[in-house]
Structure 1
Amino acid sequence: MSNRRLFLAALAAVSVTAAVPAFAGENPMVGGAAMYDSKTIVENAANSKDHTTLVAAVKAAGLVETLSGKGPFTVFAPTNAAFAKLPAGTVETLLKPENKPMLVKILTCHVVAADAMSPAIAKMIADDKGTHPVKTVGGCVLQAKMSGKSITLTDENGGVATVTIADVKQSNGVIHVIDTVLLPKK
């Protein structure tokens, strides 16, 4: 299957909803590991058994230094299971050096240049009468909405992903764990 067909197939497989954590002020465990607000996004993600694919992708894309930087960043962090939802062979294809530009674009469409905790996102949604555009560093615009007590993010293709763990504080921002990979419009 061509890279274009893999990418288009991946676009069809996308979905985001964000749950507010039960206890404000406490960092939740992610992937069986404690998340420390004294560590960077990359340091914490590297300790999560649920984010090994994301960490490998960040390394292949050459984004380790950037996401270890001062920030602040908000990262919508897809789990291994999220990457597994993509069509067979997509991740392997994206990790190849010749596909680095596409991988960088996909990953940076999961990053916002701000420290956005879920209560702030919910307020922006309310202030914007139900839908708030979220501009990513990759140039994508996600649409944030409320669904009950959950925040949903819709990508430019109409795909939606679920935030399963929100407000994981980092020294250089925040992570919101998602269950589906968000994809840029091609």
Structure 2
Amino acid sequence: MTSRLAATIGVLASLGTGLSTATNAGAADIVDTASATSTFKTFLAAAKTAGLTDTLKSGGPYTVFVPANSAFDKLPVDTREALMHDKAKLAQIIAYHVIPGKVLVSDVKPGKVKTMEGDPVVLKSDNGKITLNDEANITQSDIQADNGVIHEIDTVIMPK
């Protein structure tokens, strides 16, 4: 690659176009990005059990509201155990945490947004604090992946 082309790609990448000087080798999709921290182990195990890992690795772009391990710990133990053995229900819950498109926190517009599961999630913004369904808070935002963005949340949200 010529140095001029490399410089142009570098400038475009810094502007957020999604281009980078890296090849696809080593690309970090939603699953790989989430796997880089131990904070999302329970979500990743749930996505694997639900059969959604391949979707989160290859599709997109997605905005994924990933409950931290501590969010799953808030669920009663019997509920959490039952979910981890109910592939259909688990798939429904995981899909409820995913919306199509890449939405950064600065782009959040209050209101209902349709999830991959089909039911909407209600987003609210109050002085920079983003909540989902009046129950989950975004605690870490804009974790970039090649096929979307992850926002860490503090509560597992359930579809109606």
Same fold? TM cut 0.5: yes
What amino acid maps onto 1:173 in structure 2?
A: G
Structure 2 match to 1:83: 72
Q: How does 1:131-142 map to 2 (within 5 A)?
A: 132-142=111-121
Structure 2 match to 1:117: 104
2:65 counterpart of 1:65: no
What amino acid maps onto 1:108 in structure 2?
A: A
Q: Distance in 2 between matches of 1:167 and 1:101?
A: 29
Structure 2 match to 1:147: 126
Shift of 1:69: 0.9
Q: Greater RCO between the two (CA within 8 Å, min separation 6)?
A: 1
Structure 1 match to 2:151: 176
Gaps of 5+ in 1: 1-24, 26-36, 126-131
Q: Distance in 1 between matches of 2:50 and 2:61?
A: 20
2:96 counterpart of 1:102: no
Larger Rg: 2
Aligned residues: 136
Q: Deviations over 1:113-141 (max 9, x none)?
A: 110111111xx33xxxxxx1111010121
Moved over 2 A (4+): none
Percent identity (aligned): 40
TM-score by structure 2 length?
A: 0.80
Shift of 1:149: 1.6
What amino acid maps onto 1:163 in structure 2?
A: I
TM-score by structure 1 length?
A: 0.70
